[in-house]
């Protein structure tokens, strides 16, 4: 089986536990206003590789994974847009005893999500907002599939980190964050909520694909805003 890979980064330390290889799959159905990888939206933007091609690259770094408690993180784009390909990659990693993580928006077919969870050691689920209108404004899609992915992870007891990007004037509503925190409270598989500050490091990529960047004048969140957001979520876990 083949699929499209945007890039592979070895030596990652912020995409899961330990030292990791980070595999960026091409293609994404979301159009997040703050996306820092818009060059990965099109599936054909990547290189077509086989499962063996990817796994052979990953296997070069097994000593680093074992020494650090790391492994491989599959991200994107949206890795589950190429569900069957991702599932085969996850299976191959498990065959070789490599810890697997998937960083996803959860926007995928239910059967692909369920099958992928069988071979996923760690889920990083990006929840862009909780209010339905805000979520659609940020992403261009509905939130339902994301919440279904969270339920699947809970049913299968997959350790999960929630990722929430704090964008002033967009995802910084305190009540919406409190509502999300309350929703997350019953999910015993959630280990933490990562509140990530908005940044514009990928703005130049929007210019490169000749697409208007709507958050050009949006500042990063202040330290006080970050502290308040983190406090809300930490109180729920």
| Distance in angstroms (rounded) separating the CA atoms of residues 52 and 163 | 30
Residue 14 confidence (pLDDT): 85
For residue 174, CA distances in Å to 32, 59, 194, 233 come to 20, 44, 16, 11
Which of 16-25, 35-44, 75-84 comes out lowest in average pLDDT? 35-44
Which tens digit of pLDDT belongs to each residue from 185-218? 999 999 999 999 999 888 888 988 889 999 999 9
For the chain, the C-alpha Rg in angstroms (whole number) is 17
| Distance in angstroms (rounded) separating the CA atoms of residues 109 and 176 | 27
| % of the chain residues with pLDDT over 70 | 100
Residue 45 confidence (pLDDT): 84
> What is the dihedral sign for C-alpha 24, 222, 146, 142?
negative
Which tens digit of pLDDT belongs to each residue from 24-73? 999 999 999 999 889 899 888 899 999 999 999 999 999 999 999 999 99
Q: What CATH topology corresponds to 2-234?
A: TIM Barrel (3.20.20)
What's this model's pTM, rounded to 2 decimal places?
0.94
């Amino acid at each position: 089986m083949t699929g499209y890979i945007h890039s592979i980064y070895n030596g990652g330390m912020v995409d899961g536990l330990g030292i990791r290889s980070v595999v960026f799959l091409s293609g994404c159905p979301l159009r997040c206003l703050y996306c820092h990888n818009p060059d990965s939206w099109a599936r054909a933007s990547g290189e077509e590789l086989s499962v063996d091609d990817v796994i052979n690259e990953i296997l070069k770094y097994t000593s680093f994974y074992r020494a650090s408690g790391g492994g491989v993180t599959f991200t994107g784009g949206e890795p589950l847009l190429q569900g069957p390909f991702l599932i085969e990659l996850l299976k191959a990693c498990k065959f070789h005893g490599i810890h697997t993580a998937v960083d996803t928006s959860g926007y995928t077919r239910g059967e692909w999500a369920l099958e992928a969870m069988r071979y996923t050691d760690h889920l990083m689920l990006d929840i862009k907002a909780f209010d339905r209108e805000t979520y659609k404004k940020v992403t261009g899609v509905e939130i339902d599939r994301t919440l279904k992915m969270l339920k699947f992870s809970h049913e299968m007891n997959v350790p999960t980190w929630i990722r929430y990007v704090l964008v002033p004037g967009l995802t910084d509503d305190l009540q919406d964050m409190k509502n999300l925190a309350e929703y997350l409270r019953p999910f015993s598989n959630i280990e933490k909520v990562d509140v990530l500050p908005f940044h514009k490091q990928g703005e130049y990529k929007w210019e490169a694909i000749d697409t208007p960047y709507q958050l050009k004048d949006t500042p990063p969140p202040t330290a006080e805003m970050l502290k308040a957001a983190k406090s809300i979520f930490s109180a729920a876990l």
